[in-house]
Amino acid sequence: MPDRFVRVALGVTLGLLIAFVAQPYILAFLYSAEAPRPVTARGDLSAAERTTVDLFARAAPSVVHVFAQAAAQGRALMEPDDEFGQGPGDGQQQGSGTQTGTGIVWDAAGHVVTNNHVVEAATKGGGSISVRLSSGEVVSARVVGTAPSYDLAVLQLGRVAKMPPPVAVGTSADLKVGQAAFAIGNPFGLDHTLTTGVISALQRRLPTQEGRELSGVIQTDAAINPGNSGGPLLDSAGRLIGVNTAIFSPSGASAGIGFAVPVDVVNRVIPDLIKNGRVRNPGIGIIAGQEATAARLGIDGVVVLRVLPGSPAAQAGLRGVDPRTGEIGDVIVGANGSPVHRLSDLTAVVEETGLDRPVTLLVERDGRVRTVRLNTADVAQTRL
């Protein structure tokens, strides 16, 4: 009896083992899909998906791909593009000397807004600029004007078969942290890429050229990578709320912290660039001392290093550092009722004041603080 039980148990065990080993082959024989499978109906897109799809369809034709070629570095036509090459900062610098970025069609006359740093090398070196439209057409372009202090530039498209539609312009005055944000650009040379996110912060400060800091900058976590420079940041209505200009990332790739120039600043600067080729920067006519040096000396405020002759600051009697003795003259500690701790504080007040408008300064000299009233003026060639 025990022998029979053992034989039965061994038989059952062997059968189970054979079934276990053969199971994949049996399933493959019985259930392999050797013909195309029927498509499962998905139903309608969600409301959020439809909004995003419609937004891209409306805005994408207004977004272009900008190629700025430095004059000194020619390139063979048959040399392949390095579309996935890493570029410094948030722009894409290809090995051939071509800086690529994104642009936004601004008006029906064919003006395109982009970042100054995208076209700077070609502008200074006498190079060439070309633009690829959403239709695939490639046209030449020329620089109409640049505003390095805002990292903005305006291009004029050459002859176009069909002019793309201008982007819809919104406002950055009523933006809220947490609202949806959409970026369209050409990261790593990949045309018309849409990324989504939210507005992460407002009123950031971003260093630009000419010794200025741009205030009121928009921070977003919508992915911005090399090649997105100059592209649009849009709200959920598809309106332009900013021009993507920089990322904060040690690797040069998106780390969830991107910055955009507010559209209200863009909407003020671009008409000047189109009309005059340059933007009139409100200022008072001073060159500020180094903030690090002022901090080491225990000075809380903006040290006036030099006053420009004939400027509003000169007319108001402001005094810079004595070049012979190094003695400090005036330190600006307040402007229009707001404290001034660093140059960006003063720049923000002057920018908000605008051109040919009165501004009231609190100026410290020899331990005494006095009030100085003056008007701003166009001092684009100076720091402030």
Q: Which of 90, 117, 134, 200 is catalytic?
A: 117
Contact criterion met (CB below 8 Å) for 247 and 231: no
Judge whether 151 counts as a catalytic residue: yes
**CA gap 38, 337 in Å, rounded:** 71
From 111, 130, 149, 151, the catalytic residue? 151
From the candidates 130, 134, 149, 229, give the one annotated as an active-site residue. Answer: 229
d(CA 243, CA 229): 8
Q: Catalytic site residue 128?
A: no
Is 229 tagged catalytic? yes
Residues annotated catalytic, as ranges = 117, 151, 229
